[in-house]
Structure 1
Amino acid sequence: MKEITTPALSGASDYPNATELLMKRFRTAPEHIAFEVRSSHASITDPWRPVSTREFVTEVRALAKGLIAAGLEPGETLAIMSPTRYEWALMDMAAWFASAVVVPIYETSALNQVSAILQDASVRFAVAGSAVHAQLLEQGFAQAGVSGGQIWCMDADTGATLKDLIHGGADIALETLEARRLLATLDSVATIVYTSGTTAAPKGALITHGNFVGQVLSVAGAYTEVVKESGNTIIFLPMAHVLARGLQLICLANGMRIAHLSETKEIVPALGVLKPTFLVVVPRVLQKIQASAAGAAAKKNLGGLWSVAQATAVDWGLLAQERESDPSRKAGLSLRVRHAVFDRLFYSRIRKLVGGRLEYLLSGAAALDAELSLFFRGLGLPVIEGYGLTETTAPLTGNLPFSIKSGSVGVPMPGTTIRISENGEVLARGVGVFAGYNRAADNTQAFQDGFFRTGDTGVLDDQGRLTLTGRIKDVIVTAGGKTVSPTIWEGYVESDPLIAHAVMVGEGKPFLGGLVLLDSGSVSEWAQSKGFADLQTLRTPDDGGCVEVDDARLRKAISKVVAAANSKIARSEQVKKIVLLVVDLSEANGLVTPTMKLKRNIFTERALIFIEKIYAEKRSQA
């Protein structure tokens, strides 16, 4: 058993609860711009309205008074179901000012999910983003057997609105609100966040004010190069995800400007307007950027040159990584010349595409391919990979700006201990680790000797950096008795933009197979660049099922990806035969979580006929 601890930073005791993160900022820099808000119906490229810390606090107070006047009691729950937007931030903090517990609900949740959360968290007050969300919440209350539930809508033209909420609290005195704000302690539950449930039913994680305060102080202290007053970011992750809310608190407490976006198609044009210095992304976004650059080069008949430029960026990124431990390492003349040329031709254009001020990217939620990380570092856009869960209030470990090891998820955050159990599971204890689940039964197997059991497997190196190796439950035992963790192979394959998800199969079988779920959009772009008109539109089933794509050209391309992945792992862990599939990957289809993680068990049940096909013939292929 091996473990590593990063000492905690002092200062958490100066905060009665998480609202003080805002109030300290308000007292020191009330006129500093805290948010950039897009006006209703405005174009993404129109000027965004600046909102100062003072203006934000004023709006929060008015909404909090409204909640108190409406009868929301201290410690009671308030649900928020809305896309990512400024009003989400307002209601989140207003609920805390009223000493309430926030229950986020993903905007894409189905009625049964909404009802289950409302019932489990004993909710009777809710805020909706739109009329559609308000209707779902109303139906959810009815299904959960809640009578007299109150719903306010962020959109001004629907039912009871936030303006109505503010009007209702006009007679509440500021002294009354301030007394209410200070009721919660660091040990009080601040939010109940329901896990996305890739392998089991969602569980409500009880996250305390102390968890948030500890994480904000830890991250700000560890990432002073990133978290600064002169910086800004765009939050486009779902606000129902604890990472987005943690990021917002970190920025709010330290003076980084925040903008919100909910439509992914608007992100690229927004980058040019808002020019962020820091972004949190998932690996899929980085893959798309790389693929887009390759496609643009191919259209100009520069595909061959781009391949050399891509390899050069990886070499430059690897050199930068090596220099962190050995500053004497220097780039050779050939590498310096190539990098300078390609910087003018390609790299500078990509940096301009993302706004021209971007200093760091943080990647989380899924494994990041080491070569992709090196590529972006070589472009001048270093990627800080981190690791965390809902139950750890997001960041548990992270690479540091001055010490990025591609392929690793870094060292423990300040105030955190990581232990590797005898069976290889990653165990965690520290400032961000939650208080437990809402249902007592869910806590039975959640902890071991005071450490939270993450369910992930990993190893620690001599510098205390964690590398993830798989999931405890996601193992395959072949007919020959070989135990294989599919995560590594799947990660290698999923690094290609043509592939949305890869699933290794082979439990009790003589060899390993793979189900490859194609990314329809990327396949269409690829087919267009190749002149394959018949492949530019793949038929996506609308009945929740899977459709096989049996095309020699596409199979050849995917087979190269699989062969490359196989070359990086032991022969006994290599996939021998694959099936290419297209499937509806919307959350409504039930195959992915709100954060787009594949629900493996549900998918393999629906794809059983294709798994059987893999083993129907003795011949193998890849």
Structure 2
Amino acid sequence: MIESSTPPLADLDGYRNVTDLLVARVHTAPDHVAFEVEGADAASSGSWHPVTTAVFADSVRALAKGFIAQGIEAGDAIAIMAPTRYEWAVADLAAWYAGAVVVPIYDTSSPSQVDAIVADAEVRLGIGGTWRHASLLQAALAQTPGVTLGAWTMDAGDSPDTGAAASGSLLDLVTRGADVSDEELEARRASASQDDPATIVYTSGTTGEPKGVVLTHRNFLGQVLNIAAAYREIVNEDGNTVIFLPLAHVLARGLQLICLASGMRIAHLSDPSTVVATLDTLRPTFLVVVPRVLEKIQAAAASKAADKGLTRVWTAARSTAVAWGRRAERIDAGRRVRRDLGLRLRHRLFEALFFGRLRTVMGGRVGYILSGGAALDPELSLFFRGIGVPVIEGYGLTETTAPLTGNLPGRITSGTVGSPLPGLTVRISDDGEVLARGIGVFGGYRNPAHDEDAFIDGFFRTGDLGRLDEQGKLILDGRLKDVIVTSNGKTIVPTRWESAVEADPLVSHAVMVGEGKPYLSALLVLDPEQTREWATAEGIIIPLSVQPDIRAVTDPTLRAHLQKAVDAANALVARSEQVRRFSVVFADLEDRTLVTPTMKLKRSVVLDRAAVTVEDLYL
């Protein structure tokens, strides 16, 4: 099969732009709780308070009036640079109510990155999460030609000494908008049509310079309404979720709109490390994560079992969960399964020992988890299915307004990223590249020069390699630009091997190398937190110091441990795809010149900094 399509489930007629989603929700359920906000007032820091749809809409309208009073015109660009928080949602919708175009900037971006985005998008006003973010935006605005309208912070209070002074807080903007009439605001809210730009999102640039992706109101409306229809079993008024992925990323932002339009309660967390501790309080029914989060949950369970001398018992429990998950998938697919009393009894035992406790760690109410952003190990997917929390794997890009494909409840196939979502088409080119067309696919980059090789026959070229199974579900095989051709002419796609090694908790990233070389080698980039915990348990000291170059970590005990992961990965691939030599390395994973804000490794930067280490693998 070379092409798969899914017809749309939603009609966009009756919607002019994204703001109509909030207008419709206010009309339907003004008193429904839309958000839970932490520390909503000074006397209640640390607790969570409900915010109804009507109250949220009032905040959006008040801030939108502030934007208009400050001088924002229809079509102007407003940049938002902040960690994930409730005020991000208010600012996003308020900018659209004012007729503006939103330009999200990751809160971890460097000053040079902020300067480049503000200049390229011709930003007129900036919103920072903190005074530091606002100061960075203010400095960038000061370098742009034309009249700009200042940078404003989500944090009220006095400004610390952070360089270029911010203009004030969002509360100040709200005050300025007091004289803007409801009629003027409504006219501005309705000024954008479906085909007008809603946002310009700059890609994180793993393989080249960042590009400004222009997404329209039609792109967002099509995705929100169709995905909400397809996943109504999960996203509905009875559910709630926690968003801790960056709202600067289109996936988290699209999820927020879907939840808002569907009545699903949202809580925001700016620090992902606090998620597990908060789940018991918020008790979400649905979570969106990257695979690394699932790997860490499983690794933590294994570590606790080891501390209690139950490693062999845990290994049996994990195998049982995978078998149970595989059985459930076969039942979903309508295939016959034999009765297995032994499996049923083992599952019941391990449910009492491990599985129920794992679900409690996740809050006790999670019905589904959506995994995206990177490849998910099929066995990990089966494991979570086996403990009673099915994982829906999906796939998409900024250019497709987040999800392009996805598994559906009751139709999950581990190892695939599902079928095209409603209103979308996936085609596989002759050289195996995944091509996309449909309601969520953007029309082009801000810089037309970036469009030259981006489209073919009306389809967007994703740059990913993949294939469609007999049900039309997409199986990803890696990145087109990551393909390695060895000196003996063998063409290697490294993704399967790399993903297998990354299943080891100590390995944050695996990077296969070997372009033009006689055999394949690899760099295994350590996860600092997991490595320190492992080293402490082993009674050894692993030096993890940041250096300009990426150099090998030579501890023999660590290397012997990771040799097992390499051997297991080699067993999964053909002989020509096996890695012969590897180096264990440490790198600063907080360095945004090395790792993108979505935790993807910039392969070319890694290979440049590790050039000496790579050469040593071929001596």
What TM-score, normalized to structure 2? Answer: 0.97
Q: 1:375 aligns with which of 370, 373, 383?
A: 383
- 1:83-134 Cα shifts (integer Å, max 9, x gaps): 1000000000000001100000000000111011011101121111111101
Q: Report if aligned partners of 2:40, 2:48 keep a CA contact under 8 Å in 1.
A: no
- Equivalent residues, number: 611
Where does residue 220 of structure 1 map in the other structure?
Answer: 228
Shift of 1:145: 4.7
Alignment map for 1:131-146 (pairs within 5 Å): 131-145=131-145
Q: For the Cα contact (< 8 Å) 1:587–1:594, is it kept in 2?
A: no
* Distance in 1 (alpha carbons) for counterparts of 2:383 and 2:209: 38
Aligned to 1:302: 310
Task: Identify the residue that residue 361 of structure 1 maps to in structure 2.
Answer: 369
Corresponding residue for residue 540 of structure 2: 533
Does 2:545 match 1:545?
no
Against the structure 1 CA distance between its residues 78 and 45, is the aligned structure 2 distance closer, same or farther, given a 3 Å change threshold? closer
Secondary structure of the residue aligned to 2:183 is helix
Partner of 1:593: 596
CA distance in 2, matches of 1:171, 1:263: 37
Distance 2:143 2:177 in 1: 30
Structure 1 match to 2:255: 247
Contact 2:39 2:45 in 1 (8 A): no
Q: Could you give the per-residue CA deviations for residues 417-451 of structure 1, whole angstroms, max 9, x where no partner exists?
A: 10000111000001100121000101111100100
Query: What is the alpha-carbon distance in structure 1 between the residues aligned to residue 478 and residue 535 of structure 2?
Result: 33
- 8 A Cα contact 1:388 1:394, kept in partner: yes
- Report the secondary structure of 2:123's partner residue: coil
**Contact persistence 1:310–1:375 (CA under 8 A):** yes
2:162 counterpart residue number? none
- 8 A contact 1:358–1:381 mirrored in 2: yes
Residue in 2 that maps onto 1:620: none
- Following the alignment from structure 2 to structure 1, what is the Cα–Cα distance between the partners of residues 43 and 351? 32
Q: 1:388-411, CA deviations, whole angstroms, 9 ceiling, x for partnerless residues?
A: 000000000001111111110000
Q: Secondary structure at the match of 1:199?
A: coil
- Structure 2 residue corresponding to 1:570, chosen from 571, 574, 579: 574
Matching of residue 560 in structure 1 with residue 568 in structure 2: no
CA–CA distance in structure 1, aligned partners of residues 98 and 548 of structure 2: 43
**Matching of residue 606 in structure 1 with residue 609 in structure 2:** yes
Q: Which amino acid aligns with 1:615?
A: Y
* Amino acid corresponding to residue 361 of structure 1 in structure 2: I
Amino acid at match of 1:532: G
Q: Which amino acid aligns with 2:534?
A: W
1:533 corresponds to which letter in structure 2?
I
How far 1:140 sits from its partner (Å)?
Answer: 1.5
* Secondary structure at 1:585 match in 2: coil
Q: CA deviation at 1:534?
A: 2.1
8 Å CA contact retained: 1:44, 1:266: no
Alpha-carbon deviations, 1:560-611, whole Å to 9, x = none?
A: 11111111111101101000001111134x1001111000001100000011
What is the identity, as a one-letter code, of the residue corresponding to 1:560?
A: K
SS in 2 for 1:205: strand
Alpha-carbon distance between aligned partners in 2 of 1:143 and 1:109, rounded to the nearest angstrom: 17
Post-superposition CA distance 1:512-540 (Å, at most 9, x none): 000110111111222233x32324xx322
Rate the CA distance shift 1:429–1:44 in 2: closer, same or farther, 3 A.
farther
Change in CA separation of 1:44 and 1:603 when aligned onto 2, cut-off 3 Å: farther
Partner of 2:618: 615
Q: CA deviation at 1:42?
A: 7.8
Is the Cα–Cα contact under 8 Å of residues 45 and 273 in structure 1 kept in the other structure? no
Contact 1:426 1:458 in 2 (8 A): yes
Q: Quick one: which amino acid aligns to residue 611 of structure 2?
A: L
Report the 3-state secondary structure (helix = DSSP H, G, I; strand = E; otherwise coil) of the residue aligned with 2:178: coil
Amino acid in structure 2 at the alignment position of 1:598: L
Q: Measure, in 1, the Cα distance between the counterparts of 2:342 and 2:442.
A: 51
Displacement of 1:45: 9.5
Question: 249-258 vs 37-46, which deviates more?
Answer: 37-46
Match of 1:501 in 2: 509
Give per-residue Cα distances to partners, 1:134-175, cap 9 Å, x unaligned.
111122223445654411110002351111100101011111
Is the 8 Å Cα contact of residues 60 and 94 (structure 1) preserved in structure 2?
A: yes
Q: Once superposed, what is the RMSD of the aligned Cα atoms? A: 1.5
Q: Give the aligned partner of residue 116 of structure 2.
A: 116
Specify the alignment match of 2:393 in structure 1.
385
- Letter aligned with residue 34 of structure 2: A
Check the 8 A contact 2:126/2:152 in 1, yes or no: yes
What is the CA-CA distance between 1:331 and the residue it aligns to?
A: 4.4
Distance 1:594 1:300, change over 3 A: same
1:472 lines up with 2:480 in the alignment: yes
Residue 619 (structure 1) aligns with: none
* Whole-angstrom distance in 2 between the partners of 1:80 and 1:209: 18
2:344 equivalent to 1:336: yes
Corresponding residue of 1:17: 17
Counting only pairs closer than 5 Å after superposition, residues 139-158 of structure 1 correspond to structure 2 as 139-145=139-145, 148-157=148-157, 158=159
- The Cα of 1:546 is off from its aligned counterpart by 1.7
Change (3 A) 1:145 1:382: same
The residue correspondences of 1:27-176 to structure 2 (distance < 5 A) are 27-39=27-39, 46-145=46-145, 148-157=148-157, 158=159, 159=166, 160-176=168-184
Return 5+ residue gaps in structure 2 as ranges. 160-165
Maintained 8 Å contact 1:44/1:270: no
Aligned to 1:192: 200
**Equivalent position of 1:462 in the other structure:** 470
CA distance in 2, matches of 1:383, 1:457: 22
State the distance in 2 between where 1:592 and 1:476 align. Answer: 21
Which residue does the alignment assign to 1:452? Answer: 460
**Structure 2 CA distance for aligned equivalents of residues 409 and 106 of structure 1:** 26
Contact 1:38 1:49 in 2 (8 A): yes
Cα shift readout 1:235-254 (whole Å, capped 9, x = no counterpart): 00001000011000000000
Q: Following the alignment from structure 2 to structure 1, what is the Cα–Cα distance between the partners of residues 45 and 98? A: 36
How far apart in 2 are the matches of 1:72 and 1:281? Answer: 35
8 Å CA contact 1:515–1:578 kept in 2: the answer is yes
In the TM superposition, what is the alpha-carbon distance from 1:324 to its structure 2 partner? 1.2
The 2-side partners of 1:307 and 1:596 are apart by: 29
Identity value in percent: 56
Say which SS state the counterpart of residue 279 (structure 1) adopts: strand
Alignment partner of 2:527 out of 499, 513, 519? 519
